[in-house]
Chains A and B, each alone.
Chain A
Amino acid sequence: MSLAEKYPKEVKQILAKYPPEHKRSAVMPLLYLAQREEGYITKAAMQDIARMLDITETDVASIVGFYTLYHDKKEGKYRMQVCTDLPCALRGAEEFLNNLCGNLGIKVGETTADGLITLEAVTCLAACDKAPMFQTQGPDGIKYHEHMTVDKTLELIEALKKSTAEAK
């Protein structure tokens, strides 16, 4: 099913934001829409968006490849993106991330065995005064989690596990 068939209201709203002769501008919001359910963008979705905007599939792929919040392969349902940039690192972010890896039994870039969490180290998220912090990127968009500890993070993961199980 094409994006326009699946999300007619959203696609219409997105296209209305830009002058019709410059509809290419809609590529970024459309990619977020395409990524909503599975957490990554399929080749078919890229073809679909390219057709909708009269651009080439290569154009769309180059956008997906350039920006870090678009993904082209399936990983964890939630991406846990811990900021380890300079200001956060000065406030214990690296230690936090190392301890979290130890607790989850995975390395940065890996996914938990149940497919729920992919752990990533990312650059500045504009929350330098609230480190350690991370964002979760998942089906419900992007959420910030600030002033975090390993215990609070494990609680959050339990809650995500529970809501995922209930949804099934």
Chain B
Amino acid sequence: MAHVLLRHRDIPDIHKLEIYKKNGGFEAFKNAVTKMKPNEVTDVVKNSGLRGRGGAGFPTGMKWSFIDNKNWPHYVVANADESEPGTFKDREIMEGNPFQFLEGVAIASYAVGANAAYVYLRGEFWQIAAFLDEKIAEMEEAGYLGKNLFGTDYSLKIYTHLGAGAYICGEETALLESLEGKRGQPRVRPPFPPSYGLYGKPTIVNNVETLTNVPMILANGAEWYKSMGTADSPGVKIFSLSGRVRKPGNYELPFGTTFRELIYTHGGGVQDSRKVKAIMPAGASSSLILVNDDKILDTPMDYASVRTIGSDLGSASVIVVDDTVSMDWLINKTVHFFRHESCGKCTTCREGTYWMSHLTERIHEGRATRADVDLLLNVAKQMQGKCLCALGEFSTMAVVTGIERFRSDFEKVVKA
């Protein structure tokens, strides 16, 4: 099947404006601006069932329809902060198929009445930001961005903005704070960005992959999009496959593809022909899936099915953990990540990740007793539901499921 998002794998040089145009590029945007009302564009996206690809899976069209039309101006912000350990898909889109992403930003902007859009990239994507700046300049030159587009009174500018190394800025209100020139710390919600966003104005924040779907949905229709994937999760998804597999990488597949197909058919199987012990389907934020029964691998990867096996699909960054790995090592890794990335605003997360890291270290180094493992589990569970944003919550996922589902790994390392 031809790619919908990673089209550079089928069409060489699609990052060049002429080639993108030859393959239907900017037709959807032009058609929207010249022939459709903004709310009609939103309706197509709503009907397609497109859900946000950043991790939360919120219906995109519905988010757009929440924009507050009594307060102006409006903004669109593309979230290119891609920082979840195990996620590397947005980067490939922007490097390989940049115009389709930027056309998605443009269509979203038209749909919600924004005349300015920002692409917020993580600071490490320095080279990608420079590349996007070139692409934006080419679009301006060709009349796809700027004043009075296609002879209408609609105008749009797109700007890039570089972060500077903070996982928390992937959280949309922290991202907006950062874009406003402040420390990237989440806001108390509600109000949500569609009513109170950038500079206090109504703002739609969408992930890069989400926006890259939009031109294809407008060009081919909602029904076409729904013909792929599952009823609960329509369309295609880029699965970032990493960890102990032979062929790690991005694989664009319909929702509902099984873990087995991803890992064995596309990923070439587990390194050294070991067994899959656990899967983290949403990067470091995952609840660990215990693979003690081979049938688990036949679970379809869509939002609803992954929930039935005690986890969440999230951003679909699938980290494969084999049977050489012990969970005391693994949770020590994830907890240290979250401790480092905690923004420090809420006590639960700042102190919780700190104390958890002391416990995971002690356990991993063989200095702990069984009571310390129970204490760690207790701290993690007490944090749940009490954090200002999802980061604190995420920090507890691997800890709780690691201990509860892989208890014997901990029994082996504690002192009697």
Q: Which residue of A lies closest to B398 (CB)?
A: A86
Q: Which residue of A lies closest to B249 (CB)?
A: A129
Q: Is the CB of B164 within 8 A of A31?
A: yes
Q: Is the CB of A29 within 8 A of B88?
A: no
- Could you tell me the distance in whole angstroms from the C-beta of A8 to the nearest C-beta in chain B? 19
Q: Is the CB of A129 within 8 A of B159?
A: no
Q: Hey, which chain B residues are within 8 Å of A66, CB to CB?
A: 166, 183-184, 343
Residue-by-residue, is B116-127 near A (CB-CB < 8 Å gives 1, otherwise 0)? 000000111111
Q: Is the CB of A86 within 8 A of B330?
A: yes
In the assembly, what is the distance between CA of A69 and CA of B126, in Å?
11
Is the C-beta of B250 less than 8 angstroms from some C-beta in chain A?
yes
In the assembly, what is the distance between CA of A135 and CA of B343, in Å?
23
Is the C-beta of B212 less than 8 angstroms from some C-beta in chain A?
no
Q: Hey, which chain B residues are within 8 Å of A85, CB to CB?
A: 85, 284, 333, 337
Is the C-beta of A104 less than 8 angstroms from some C-beta in chain B?
no
Q: Is the CB of B164 within 8 A of A69?
A: yes
Q: Is the CB of A25 within 8 A of B240?
A: no
- Size bin of chain B's contact surface: 35 or more
Residue-by-residue, is B69-90 near A (CB-CB < 8 Å gives 1, otherwise 0)? 0000000000000111111101
- Size bin of chain A's contact surface: 35 or more
Residue-by-residue, is A7-29 near B (CB-CB < 8 Å gives 1, otherwise 0)? 00000000001010010111111
In the assembly, what is the distance between CA of A27 and CA of B180, in Å?
9
Q: Which residue of B lies closest to A21 (CB)?
A: B199
Q: Is the CB of A29 within 8 A of B162?
A: yes
Residue-by-residue, is B308-348 near A (CB-CB < 8 Å gives 1, otherwise 0)? 00000000010101000100001001100100110100000
Q: Say yes or no: A126-B122 contact (C-beta < 8 A), given A28-B161, A29-B162.
A: yes
- Could you tell me the distance in whole angstroms from the C-beta of B408 to the nearest C-beta in chain A? 20
Is the C-beta of B242 less than 8 angstroms from some C-beta in chain A?
yes
In the assembly, what is the distance between CA of A92 and CA of B245, in Å?
13
Is the C-beta of B28 less than 8 angstroms from some C-beta in chain A?
no
In the assembly, what is the distance between CA of A142 and CA of B334, in Å?
25
In the assembly, what is the distance between CA of A62 and CA of B337, in Å?
21
- Could you tell me the distance in whole angstroms from the C-beta of B203 to the nearest C-beta in chain A? 13
Q: Is the CB of B167 within 8 A of A123?
A: yes
Q: Is the CB of A53 within 8 A of B181?
A: yes
In the assembly, what is the distance between CA of A90 and CA of B283, in Å?
13
Q: Is the CB of B240 within 8 A of A142?
A: no
Residue-by-residue, is A65-109 near B (CB-CB < 8 Å gives 1, otherwise 0)? 011111000000000000001110111000000000000000000
In the assembly, what is the distance between CA of A70 and CA of B83, in Å?
17
Q: Say yes or no: A91-B248 contact (C-beta < 8 A), given A22-B180, A70-B164, A128-B88.
A: yes
Q: Say yes or no: A126-B333 contact (C-beta < 8 A), given A25-B179, A28-B178.
A: no
Q: Hey, which chain B residues are within 8 Å of A25, CB to CB?
A: 161, 179-181
Is the C-beta of A116 less than 8 angstroms from some C-beta in chain B?
no
Is the C-beta of B243 less than 8 angstroms from some C-beta in chain A?
yes
Is the C-beta of B244 less than 8 angstroms from some C-beta in chain A?
yes
Q: Hey, which chain A residues are within 8 Å of B319, CB to CB?
A: 86-87, 90, 128
Q: Is the CB of A87 within 8 A of B340?
A: no
Q: Is the CB of B123 within 8 A of A129?
A: no
Q: Say yes or no: A68-B166 contact (C-beta < 8 A), given A85-B333, A129-B240.
A: yes
Q: Hey, which chain B residues are within 8 Å of A144, CB to CB?
A: 124, 127
Q: Which residue of A lies closest to B180 (CB)?
A: A25
Q: Is the CB of A26 within 8 A of B181?
A: yes
Main secondary structure of the interface of B (DSSP, over half): mixed
Is the C-beta of A127 less than 8 angstroms from some C-beta in chain B?
yes
Is the C-beta of B163 less than 8 angstroms from some C-beta in chain A?
yes
Is the C-beta of B241 less than 8 angstroms from some C-beta in chain A?
yes
- Could you tell me the distance in whole angstroms from the C-beta of A70 to the nearest C-beta in chain B? 6
Q: Which residue of B lies closest to A25 (CB)?
A: B181
Is the C-beta of B24 less than 8 angstroms from some C-beta in chain A?
no
Is the C-beta of B91 less than 8 angstroms from some C-beta in chain A?
yes
Q: Is the CB of B248 within 8 A of A142?
A: no
In the assembly, what is the distance between CA of A138 and CA of B340, in Å?
23
In the assembly, what is the distance between CA of A13 and CA of B147, in Å?
19
Q: Hey, which chain A residues are within 8 Å of B125, CB to CB?
A: 126
In the assembly, what is the distance between CA of A143 and CA of B130, in Å?
12
- Could you tell me the distance in whole angstroms from the C-beta of B268 to the nearest C-beta in chain A? 12
Q: Is the CB of B123 within 8 A of A142?
A: yes
Q: Hey, which chain A residues are within 8 Å of B337, CB to CB?
A: 85-86, 123-124
Q: Say yes or no: A67-B123 contact (C-beta < 8 A), given A62-B183, A123-B341, A126-B82.
A: yes
In the assembly, what is the distance between CA of A140 and CA of B82, in Å?
23
In the assembly, what is the distance between CA of A69 and CA of B340, in Å?
14
Most buried by A among B85, B199, B341: B85
Q: Which residue of B lies closest to A135 (CB)?
A: B124
Residue-by-residue, is B242-267 near A (CB-CB < 8 Å gives 1, otherwise 0)? 11100011100000000000000000
Q: Hey, which chain A residues are within 8 Å of B182, CB to CB?
A: 24, 59, 63
Q: Hey, which chain A residues are within 8 Å of B325, CB to CB?
A: 90
Q: Is the CB of A67 within 8 A of B127?
A: no
Q: Which residue of A lies closest to B90 (CB)?
A: A126
Using a CB-CB cutoff of 8 Å, which residues 351-402 of chain B contact chain A?
none
For the complex of A and B, list the 10 residue pairs with the smallest distance between their C-beta atoms, beginning with the closest: A67-B164, A68-B165, A129-B248, A24-B181, A128-B242, A142-B126, A124-B85, A69-B165, A69-B164, A27-B181
Q: A25-B179, A70-B164 are in contact. List 6 more A-B contacts (CB 8 A).
A: A24-B182, A28-B164, A127-B91, A128-B319, A129-B240, A142-B124
A selection of 5 A-B contacts at a CB cut-off of 8 Å is: A25-B181, A32-B164, A90-B243, A126-B122, A129-B242
